[in-house]
Structure 1
Amino acid sequence: MTSLEVAGVYVAVNMLLLIYLAFRVVSVRQSARISIGTGGNEQLEVRTRVHGNAAEYIPAMLVGLVVLALMGLPGWAIHVGGGAFTLGRVMHMVGMSGNILPLRAGGILLSWISMILVAGAILFHAFA
């Protein structure tokens, strides 16, 4: 696989994760008949925030992975950043959905570390 193809794997997986999370929100909206906001529904509140949190972090990281691939970094480097980030997002989703604080915290930490490393690699290669 080329580096861009490796980045494409993480783009696709994270896009599917966003769709899955959106589906979880929509399913509660339909069953509770809540069109806008959360209507005081705790399950909808949690699912909305899980989806919103993913939507806040995933796009920037995916851009970073594609930029690294276009800069010519090897596929293994894209796998490290993309794999760690995606694992972190799944950990965060499970932890936040199940109110499992260590999993949630570990997931966000892994997501942040991955983003910092990818941003650092972009800056390093841009100025090297």
Structure 2
Amino acid sequence: MSLAVTALYAGLLGLFYVALSLWVVKVRVKQKVASGDKGDPVMQNAMRTHANFAEYVPMGLLLIGLGEAQGMPAVATHTLGAALLVARVMHGIGMGRLPHTPALRGGGATLTFLVLLVAAIANIGHAVL
């Protein structure tokens, strides 16, 4: 069983996660915050942006990968993977800016939830049929 499509999006999302991680390090240096957030709102925002990605992407990739493993068509797998990637980049940019960019942050969150919902339903459908 190959999960080549999911692997592609896992790799692309992994690259974005590294970029977010390096951005958090840059903010730490600029704000002079070695650990935690020290009550600094800029540091808090960077940490939450990074953490939010880490909270949602694993479940999204898991659901997409399980769908692919169950025989979900490649076009559906690509659609969900690409949508998750776009959603998380939108959210990361929208939340990473201060003040936040509501259209990007909210649009990214909404698209993330939609991917999770569709992938979850697809997995349930594959599992019971």
Scaled by the length of structure 2, the TM-score of the pair is 0.91
Percent identity between the aligned chains?
Answer: 32
Equivalent residue letter for 1:110? L
Deviation of 1:35 (Å): 2.1
Where in structure 1 are there 5+ consecutive unaligned residues? none
Deviation of 1:41 (Å): 2.4
Question: Counterpart of 2:127 in 1: which secondary structure?
Answer: helix
1:15 aligns with 2:45: no
In the alignment, the residues of structure 1 paired with residue 6 and residue 62 of structure 2 have an alpha-carbon distance, to the nearest angstrom, of: 9
In the alignment, the residues of structure 2 paired with residue 19 and residue 32 of structure 1 have an alpha-carbon distance, to the nearest angstrom, of: 20
Check the 8 A contact 1:10/1:82 in 2, yes or no: yes
1:60 is matched with which residue? 59
1:114 is matched with which residue? 115
In the alignment, the residues of structure 2 paired with residue 112 and residue 69 of structure 1 have an alpha-carbon distance, to the nearest angstrom, of: 19
Question: Counterpart of 1:37 in 2: which secondary structure?
Answer: coil
Moved over 3 A (4+): none
Question: Counterpart of 2:3 in 1: which secondary structure?
Answer: helix
In the alignment, the residues of structure 1 paired with residue 16 and residue 2 of structure 2 have an alpha-carbon distance, to the nearest angstrom, of: 21
2:35 is matched with which residue? 36
Deviation of 1:32 (Å): 3.2
Residues 52-104 of structure 1: CA deviation (Å, up to 9, x unaligned): 00000001111111111111111101011111111111111111112111211
In the alignment, the residues of structure 1 paired with residue 36 and residue 73 of structure 2 have an alpha-carbon distance, to the nearest angstrom, of: 44
Deviation of 1:3 (Å): 6.6
Question: Counterpart of 1:112 in 2: which secondary structure?
Answer: helix
Deviation of 1:22 (Å): 1.0
Deviation of 1:19 (Å): 1.2
Count of residues paired in the alignment: 127
Q: What value does the CA root-mean-square deviation take over the aligned residues?
A: 1.5
Residues 29-57 of structure 1: CA deviation (Å, up to 9, x unaligned): 23333222111322211111100000000
1:104 is matched with which residue? 105
